[in-house]
A and B are shown apart, each in its own frame.
Chain A
Amino acid sequence: MALKKVKGSIDRIFDKNLQDLVRGIRNHKDDEVKAKYISTCIDEIKQELKQENISVKANAVCKLTYLQMLGYDISWAAFNIVEVMSSSKFTYKRMGYLAASQSFHDGTDVIMLTTNQIRKDLNSPNQYDTGVALTGLSCFVTPDLSRDLANDIMTLMSHTKPYIRKKAVLIMYKVFLKYPESLRPAFPRLKEKLDDPDPGVQSAAVNVICELARRNPKNYLSLAPLFFKLMTSSTNNWVLIKIIKLFGALTPLEPRLGKKLIEPLTNLIHSTSAMSLLYECVNTVIAVLISLSTGMPNHSASIQLCVQKLRILIEDSDQNLKYLGLLAMSKILKTHPKSVQSHKDLILQCLDDKDESIRLRALDLLYGMVSKKNLMEIVKKLMLHVDKAEGTTYRDELLTKIIDICSQSNYQYITNFEWYISILVELTRLEGTRHGHLIASQMLDVAVRVKAIRGFAVSQMALLLDSAPLLSGNMQRKGICEVLYAAAWICGEFSEYLEDPVQTLEAMLRPKVSTLPGHIQAVYVQNAAKLFAAVLRNGQQGSQEGAAVQETIQLLTDQLPIFVQSADLEVQERASCFLQLVKYIQKLQQKDVDVGEEVTALFAGELNPVAPKAQKKVPVPEGLDLDAWINDPPSEPESEDEKSKSAFAKEEPQQPRQRHREVDEKELARRREERKQEQANNPFYIKGSTPAPKGYQDTMGVEHIPVVQIDLSVPLKVPGMATSDKYVKIEEERRKRDRAEKGKKKEKKKKREKRSRGDRRNESGPESEEDIRPAQTVDIVTEEMPENALPSDDEDRDPNDPYRALDIDLDKPLAESETLPVRKHRAPDPVKSPAEDGEKPEAPQELKKKSKKEKREKEKKEEKKSKEEKKKKKHRHEAEEDPAGEKEKAPPPAPEMEAVQSPSKSKQEVPPASAPAEDLDFWLSNEPVPSKSQEAVVATSKSTTEEPADPGQGSDIEDAKSSKHKKKKQKKEKEEKEKKKKKQHRVPNQEEEESVQNGTVEEEEDPLPPMSNYCLLAENTYIKMVCDVQGNLQDSSRVVVSVIFENKSSSFLKSMEFNVLDSLNAKLQRPEGAGPHDSLSVPFQLPPGVSNEARFVFSVQSIVMPQKLKGTLTFIVKSDDGSSHEKLDFKLHFTCTSYLTTTPCYSDAYAKLLESADMKGSSARLQGVGLPFQHLLAKICFHHHFSVVEKINSCASLYSRSIQGHHICLLVKYTDQTVTIDAKCDESSLLGNLLDEIKLTFSQS
C-alpha cells in the first residue's frame, strides 16, 4: 500500500502541471499547432482523471480550469470535479471548487450529487473549508441547492468568525434569487447583521439589502430609518455609497424621505473628500429633487449646489470625472432643464473632447437643452461636427442625435420647417452613413404632417431625385439611397406642388434607377404613375400641355420596360400594370377621350399619420372573448364513440362556411370598411381612399395651399439645393421683426397702464420661449387614434424578470409555515434548528394567518382615513391659529403643526401588523424638516433681480390677511406661496430698508412681518455676508453656520477664503491635514449680482454661554481692468439660541419635566410690547427655536432642547402689553443668557 503511494507520487512527477501546460501552449505559436497540442493535452488529462490518485486528478482539474478560460468546454469532467471537491485536503478542495465555480451552472446534472458534500464543508471546523465552499457555491448555486442549504447558510450568518459571517451574508442574496421562499424567514437575521460589530459583515449586509431593495424598493421603505441612522454614523465609504444609492431608489416612493435626506446629503457633499462619495450624494440629491419636483416648493439651492459641483467635475482634467459629471447632469436635465441650460457653453465644449464617451454624453445633454430659441444654433454647431467627425460610428451617432433633437416632442422646438428640410437634405450628403432610413422617415413624417411645408419639401425632393450623386456608386451609399424612397414618394404624393412634373418624371425613369434596391424602385414606379396622373391633369388645361402629355406617354412607354424586366417581383408587377395602363390611356387619348380625371381618381385621397400605439388601443368589442374557443377544443379520441364523433365532425366544417356565405353581404361590406380604415391608417399604403373620394382639384383649392402664409422673407422657390445656414439669419431677422411689432404693442399697452411695474421685461431683454412664433403656421396633423381608444400605457414588467419573485412583503410577520427546510431524518416532526429560535417569539400572532390579508387591507384603509383626517386637521389647525399658522408655511416648517399631529397619532391604536409603516410615518414626520435655510437662499438669490419696493405688496398683504378661511386658503395657497417668497426676497436687507422706505406703513398693515434668522455678518462694497447659526441635531457638539455670500459689485469674485480665529470653546472644522489657522476656501465663485450659500461646521464644547468669533474673508475681485485682493473682517456671533433645536414635546411629558427637581427657574418681564400675542409667540418660536406645547387664551407653554440635551421650558403670559416669561431649565446660566437674548429680540423690534 505504502509502496503504491510512493509509486504514485513518483509517477506524478512526470505529469504536466499547470505551469507546464501554459509553457507548452506558449511554445506553440501557430494556431493550428497549438490546437493540436491542446487536444493531446486534453487526452492526457483524460488519462490522468482515470487514475485513482486524487492529487493527479486535482492537477488535471486545475489544468482544465485553465483550458476553460481559453474557451474549451470541460463539462465532460464535471464528475471528476466533484470528486476533487470532496477531497479532504484543502489544496485539492480549493482546486475543485474553483473548477466548479468556473464551469458549473443550473444545467449541470452532477450538482445534485454535491449537496451533502457542500453541507459537510459548510459545517467544517476549518473556516477556510467553509469559506471555499461558500465562494464556490455563490457561483453555481441552483434552486435545489438553495432550498437544501438555506438553513445551513443561515446558521453560518451567526458564525463566530466574521470571515464566515460576511460570506454567508453575501451568499444569501444568491439563495434568495434562486429560492425566493427563503427571503422572509431569513430576513430578520439579515437585518440583524446591519448592526454587526464587524464592519465587513455590516457592509455585506448593506450590500445584500441594497441589492434586494433596488429591485423591489417599496418593500424596503420601512428600513429607511435604520439606513438613515447608518448613513449618519458610518464612516465606511463603500457602505455610505451603497446606502446613498439605495436612498436614491427609495425616494421616488416616499417624497417625505427625500426632504429628510437633503440636509445630511448636502452636508456630506460639503464635507467629503472622496469624489466617489460626493458623486453618489449629488446623484441621490438629484433623485430627491426629481421626486420632489411635483408640488413642492423649489429647492433651487440644492439644485444650484448640484449643478455647481457637477460643473466642477466636468471642468476637471480627469476624464472620468468629466464623464460622470455629464452623466449626472443629464439626470437633472429632465426636471430642471433651466439650471442646466446655463452651462451650455461647457457642454458644447465637451463636444470637442477627444474622448468619444464624453462626446456622446454631451450629445445626450444637448438633447434636453434645446429650445425654440437656440435649436438652430445648436444644430448648426452639430452640423459642423458632422463635417469634422472622422469615423462613421460617431458621425452616425451625431446624425441620429440631430434628428432626435429636432423631432423631439412632436417637433416642438422647430420654428421653421423649411430649415429642417434643408438640414435633412444636407444630411443626405454624408457618405457611408447607415441612417438613410432614418432621414427618409423624417422627410416623410414632416411632409405628411406639416401641410404648410409640402410645397417646399416637394421642390427639394425633386432636386434630390434629379441630382446624380445619390444614385452613383450606390454600393457604398447603400444606406443613404433610402432617402430616394422618401423623395420619390413625396414628389408623387404631393405632385400638385411640383413645378415641373415632367422633368421629375424623367429623373425618376432614368436607367440608372434600376440599380437601386427593389423596394425603392417599386416606389419609383408607383409614384411615376402618380406623376403621370398629374401631367394628365395639367394636360386638360391647355393645348400646349397636350404636347407634353404625348411626350410623357412616349417617355413612359420607352422607359418602363426596364422595370418590367426587373428581378424584383414587386417592381415587375407594378411596372407592367402601369405600362398597360399607359398604353390604354394612349389609346383613349388618340380617341380624344379625356381621362385625366379618372386617372387622378386612382390616387385621390389624403393620408393621415397614425399614432404608433393606435393598433394596441383598439378596444376589444363587448362580448368578444379572444380566449374562447371558436370551435370546441379537439378532445382526445379515447373510445369508439369518440371516433364516430370525429367522423361526424368532418362534415361539420362545411356548415359554418355556408352560414358564412349567407351573411357575407353585410360581413363583406363591414370588412371592406375595416380594410379601408386600415389602409387609410397606413402611411405607406399609397391608395388610401377616404369615404368620399374627391378629385384633387376639389380638395386642394389654391386657398388651401398655405404657402402664402410662409413668411415673406423666405423665398418660395429656392434655386438649387437649400442650405440650412441662411435660415439662421432669416430666422433672426424674422424674430427681430416680430419683437419690434410686439414692442410696439407693448408700448401702447404701457401707455394705457398708469403704473409700469418694475419687473416688466424691457424690450431689449431676452425674449422668452413663448415669444417665438413659428415661421409657418404649423398645423401638425395629430396622429390618428381609433375611436374610444383605451388608455393603456401601463407597461407591464418583464414576466421573465428573475427579481420579480423577490417582490415579497417583509413587514408581515412570519407565518408558521414559513421556515427554511431543515434536513430531516425521516422523523415526521421537524427538528428544531437554532435558526428557528429567533423566529419563535412571533409565532403566537400567526394563528390568524388566514384573515391576515383582509385585516391588512382594512388597516390600510384605516390608515388612509386617518391620514385624510390628519390633513383636514392640518387645515383646520392652520385656519384657527391663523397668523401663526400662516407663518408656518414661511421659513420654519411647521414645528407646531407637528406637535399637534404627533399626539393624535400616538393616541391611535396602532395594530401590530402595520406598525412598521406607522413607524416610518412617524419617523418621516417627526423631525423638523430642514429646508429653512434653503428657502431663504432662494430668496436672496432672486432678490437681486427684484425691485426693492414693490407697489403691489401692500395689497398682497391684505390678501393674505383676508384669506383666513379654509377654502379660500386652499385656492390661494399657491399664490400665497409666491407672495411669501416675494416677501422673503427682502429679508436680508430688510433692516435698513424697512425703516427708510416704507417701514411705518408696512408695520401697521402687516399682521406678521416676514422673519428670517439670517443676520448681517459683514458688508463692504464688493460683498455682503449674512449668516444663520444652527445646531446640528445629530451631533451634540457641532454647529452649522450657513453663510450667504452676495456679490454686490459688477466684478467677478473668486478664490474666496473663509477663516475664523478659533477660541478655546469653538473651533472651525477644517479638513484633515489642515493646520489650525488655515482658511477654508469657499467652494464656489460669484459672478456679479449672484449670491450663494456655503456652510461651515464648528465644533463647540460648552453651549451655556454666547460667544463671538473674529474672522476674515479674503477674496479676489476680478474686473475688466484687472484683479485685486480684498479682505473683509467679521464677527461671528454664537448666541445661546443657536444651540437650540426645535423639538416638539407632548404636554404630559412637558408636565413631568416641570415637576422634576433639577430644573432651575428664572423669569423675565417685557414691557411695552405692542405685538399681538400670536405674533409674539411666533417670534419666539421662530427666532429662538421653540415649539408651542399648549396655548390657552393669552398664556402659552413652549419647549425647546439644546443640542446637548438641555430642556428649556417657557411659560409666557401676556397682559396689557406686558409679557412675563417664567422659564425653567436644567442649566441656569444657559437659561439666563437665553432670556437676555429673548429680551433683546423684543427690544429691537
Chain B
Amino acid sequence: MIKAILIFNNHGKPRLSKFYEHYTEDTEQQIIRETFHLVSKRDDNVCNFLEGGMLIGGSDNKLIYRHYATLYFVFCVDSSESELGILDLIQVFVETLDKCFENVCELDLIFHMDKVHNILSEMVMGGMVLETNMNEIITQVDAQNKMEKSEAGIAGAPARAVSAVKNMNLPEIPRNINIGDISIKVPNLPSFK
C-alpha cells in the first residue's frame, strides 16, 4: 500500500499532497516538513530509499523518492510494495506529467494542482497502484479533459478570455520561464515494463 504521495520543492513548499490515510491538517504539514527535512539533506548520488519518518506508519514504512530539478517526488509505502517498482512508478508519473503539460516545470504544478491530482488519480487509487501504462493513463486523462471542455462550451468563453487577460497583465510571472526541466532520464535503472 502507498500511504502518501508528496511533492514539494527544494525549499519544502508543498506542491501536492495526497494522503491515503486520514491525518489532521496540522499533522499533514508536520509530515511534509519532516519528510522534507529527511530528504533534503541527502546528496543526489545516494540511494533513493529512506527508512524512518516516524509520523507515517512506523518501521514497516519506507520513503521512496526521486529528485527532479527543483522538485522532490516522495512516496511513502509499506513493505508490500516493491522498492524498485515504486521508483519506476514515480518515473511513469513524471513522464505522464511531462506529456500532459508539455515540458512540465514547477510552475505547472503550482498553478494546476487540480490537474495533477486528476492525473495521479488515474495511476494510484486509494493507496493501490491502478495503472502503470503511461499511454492508458494519458488516454483516460485526455478523455476527461475533453469532456470538461465540451461542458464549458460557450459559457466558459468569457472566463477563459478574462484569465488570458489576467495572465497578460501580470508580467512578473512569465509563463515561459522554465524552472528547470523536470524530465530527466532515469539513471541506471533497467526498464521495468
A, B in one complex? yes
* A interface residues (Cβ-Cβ under 8 A, vs B): 9-10, 12-14, 17-20, 22-23, 26-27, 62, 65-66, 68-73, 89-91, 94-95, 98, 102, 105-106, 128, 131, 134-135, 138-139, 163, 166-167, 170-171, 173-174, 200, 203-204, 207-208, 210-211, 214, 237-238, 241, 245, 273-276, 279-280, 316-324, 354-358, 360
> What's the minimum C-beta distance from A1194 to chain B, rounded to whole angstroms?
57
Query: Which residue of A98, A135, A274, A358 is within 8 Å of B191 (Cβ)?
Result: A274
Interface string of B1-45 (1 = CB under 8 A from A): 100000000000010111010101110110000000000001101
Q: 9 closest pairs, A vs B, by CB? A: A138-B126, A276-B84, A319-B47, A105-B22, A355-B46, A71-B29, A318-B188, A323-B47, A135-B121
Answer whether A245 and B84 are a contact pair too, CB < 8 Å, given A62-B114, A65-B113: no
Interface string of B120-156 (1 = CB under 8 A from A): 0100011111111100100010011001100110010
Is B176 an interface residue when CB atoms closer than 8 A count as contact? Answer: no
Cα(A685)–Cα(B114), bound, Å: 63
Chain B residues with CB below 8 A from A280, complex form = 82
Contact A318 B126 (CB under 8 A): no
Query: Which residue of B49, B170, B192 is within 8 Å of A357 (Cβ)?
Result: B49
Cα(A9)–Cα(B118), bound, Å: 25
Query: Which residue of A12, A13, A17, A358 is within 8 Å of B47 (Cβ)?
Result: A358
Contact B128 A170 (CB under 8 A): yes
Cα(A275)–Cα(B189), bound, Å: 8
> What's the minimum C-beta distance from B12 to chain A, rounded to whole angstroms?
12
Cα(A19)–Cα(B159), bound, Å: 12
Chain B residues with CB below 8 A from A238, complex form = 85, 129, 132
Cα(A72)–Cα(B42), bound, Å: 29
Query: Which residue of B46, B128, B166 is within 8 Å of A319 (Cβ)?
Result: B46
* B interface residues (Cβ-Cβ under 8 A, vs A): 1, 14, 16-18, 20, 22, 24-26, 28-29, 42-43, 45-51, 80, 82-85, 87-88, 110-111, 113-114, 117-118, 121, 125-133, 136, 140, 143-144, 147-148, 151-152, 155, 158-159, 162-163, 166-167, 170, 172-173, 187-193
Chain A residues with CB below 8 A from B140, complex form = 131, 163
Contact B25 A318 (CB under 8 A): no
Question: Given A10-B158, A275-B189, 18 more contacts at CB 8 Å?
Answer: A9-B159, A13-B159, A13-B162, A62-B114, A69-B17, A90-B148, A98-B121, A102-B18, A138-B125, A138-B127, A139-B20, A171-B126, A207-B128, A211-B80, A279-B82, A320-B84, A356-B46, A357-B47
Contact B14 A69 (CB under 8 A): yes
Chain A residues with CB below 8 A from B42, complex form = 356
Q: Which residue among B43, B118, B130, B191 has the maximum number of chain A CB atoms within 10 Å of its CB?
A: B130
Cα(A768)–Cα(B183), bound, Å: 56
Contact A208 B25 (CB under 8 A): no
Contact B130 A166 (CB under 8 A): yes
Query: Which residue of B17, B49, B113, B118 is within 8 Å of A94 (Cβ)?
Result: B118
Cα(A241)–Cα(B84), bound, Å: 10
> What's the minimum C-beta distance from B100 to chain A, rounded to whole angstroms?
15
Contact A171 B125 (CB under 8 A): yes
Contact A69 B16 (CB under 8 A): yes
Answer whether A70 and B14 are a contact pair too, CB < 8 Å, given A65-B113, A91-B152: yes
Of the A-B pairs whose beta carbons lie under 8 Å apart in the complex, a sample of 28, sorted by A's number, is: A13-B162, A18-B113, A18-B114, A19-B111, A19-B163, A22-B110, A23-B170, A71-B29, A91-B151, A98-B117, A128-B143, A135-B121, A138-B127, A173-B128, A203-B129, A238-B85, A274-B190, A316-B188, A318-B187, A319-B46, A319-B47, A320-B84, A321-B188, A323-B47, A324-B83, A354-B46, A355-B46, A358-B46
Contact B82 A241 (CB under 8 A): yes
Chain A residues with CB below 8 A from B144, complex form = 90, 94, 128
> What's the minimum C-beta distance from A362 to chain B, rounded to whole angstroms?
12
Cα(A13)–Cα(B166), bound, Å: 11
> What's the minimum C-beta distance from A1148 to chain B, rounded to whole angstroms?
46
Chain A residues with CB below 8 A from B126, complex form = 135, 138-139, 170-171, 173-174
Contact B188 A317 (CB under 8 A): yes
> What's the minimum C-beta distance from B187 to chain A, rounded to whole angstroms?
8
Contact A274 B43 (CB under 8 A): no
Chain A residues with CB below 8 A from B127, complex form = 138
Cα(A10)–Cα(B159), bound, Å: 8
Cα(A94)–Cα(B182), bound, Å: 27
Contact B22 A106 (CB under 8 A): yes
Chain B residues with CB below 8 A from A89, complex form = 151
> What's the minimum C-beta distance from A675 to chain B, rounded to whole angstroms?
39
Chain B residues with CB below 8 A from A323, complex form = 47, 49
Cα(A203)–Cα(B89), bound, Å: 15
Query: Which residue of A12, A66, A106, A207 is within 8 Å of B129 (Cβ)?
Result: A207
Answer whether A200 and B131 are a contact pair too, CB < 8 Å, given A105-B22, A280-B82, A322-B47: yes
Answer whether A214 and B22 are a contact pair too, CB < 8 Å, given A9-B155, A26-B173, A66-B113: no
Give the residue name and chain of the A residue nearest to B133 (CB). Answer: A200
> What's the minimum C-beta distance from A360 to chain B, rounded to whole angstroms?
8
Cα(A322)–Cα(B46), bound, Å: 10
Give the residue name and chain of the A residue nearest to B80 (CB). Answer: A214
Answer whether A211 and B1 are a contact pair too, CB < 8 Å, given A69-B113, A276-B82: yes
Cα(A70)–Cα(B128), bound, Å: 25
Contact A17 B128 (CB under 8 A): no
Cα(A356)–Cα(B43), bound, Å: 10
Contact A22 B111 (CB under 8 A): yes
> What's the minimum C-beta distance from B46 to chain A, rounded to whole angstroms?
4
Chain A residues with CB below 8 A from B80, complex form = 210-211, 214, 245
Contact B113 A354 (CB under 8 A): no
> What's the minimum C-beta distance from A1 to chain B, rounded to whole angstroms?
15
Contact B189 A318 (CB under 8 A): yes
Cα(A211)–Cα(B129), bound, Å: 12
Contact A276 B117 (CB under 8 A): no
Chain B residues with CB below 8 A from A173, complex form = 126, 128
Cα(A865)–Cα(B80), bound, Å: 37
Answer whether A135 and B125 are a contact pair too, CB < 8 Å, given A274-B191, A320-B84: yes
> What's the minimum C-beta distance from A324 to chain B, rounded to whole angstroms?
6
Chain B residues with CB below 8 A from A138, complex form = 125-127
Query: Which residue of B25, B82, B129, B155 is within 8 Å of A68 (Cβ)?
Result: B25
Chain A residues with CB below 8 A from B43, complex form = 354-355
Chain A residues with CB below 8 A from B193, complex form = 237
Cα(A275)–Cα(B186), bound, Å: 14
Cα(A467)–Cα(B86), bound, Å: 54
Chain B residues with CB below 8 A from A19, complex form = 111, 163, 166-167
Cα(A42)–Cα(B19), bound, Å: 23
Contact B173 A71 (CB under 8 A): no
Cα(A280)–Cα(B82), bound, Å: 7
Chain A residues with CB below 8 A from B51, complex form = 357, 360
Query: Which residue of B14, B17, B20, B192 is within 8 Å of A237 (Cβ)?
Result: B192
Cα(A275)–Cα(B191), bound, Å: 9
Chain B residues with CB below 8 A from A274, complex form = 190-192
Answer whether A241 and B85 are a contact pair too, CB < 8 Å, given A323-B49, A354-B46: yes
Give the residue name and chain of the B residue nearest to A98 (CB). Answer: B117
Cα(A274)–Cα(B125), bound, Å: 25
Query: Which residue of B88, B117, B128, B132 is within 8 Å of A208 (Cβ)?
Result: B128
Contact A166 B147 (CB under 8 A): no
Contact B84 A17 (CB under 8 A): no
Cα(A276)–Cα(B130), bound, Å: 18
Give the residue name and chain of the B residue nearest to A71 (CB). Answer: B29
Contact B114 A211 (CB under 8 A): no
> What's the minimum C-beta distance from B11 to chain A, rounded to whole angstroms?
12
> What's the minimum C-beta distance from B183 to chain A, rounded to whole angstroms?
20
Cα(A163)–Cα(B117), bound, Å: 18
> What's the minimum C-beta distance from A52 to chain B, rounded to whole angstroms?
16
> What's the minimum C-beta distance from A391 to chain B, rounded to whole angstroms?
10
Chain B residues with CB below 8 A from A27, complex form = 172
Chain B residues with CB below 8 A from A10, complex form = 158
Chain A residues with CB below 8 A from B133, complex form = 200
Give the residue name and chain of the A residue nearest to B165 (CB). Answer: A13
Contact B158 A9 (CB under 8 A): yes
Give the residue name and chain of the B residue nearest to A88 (CB). Answer: B151
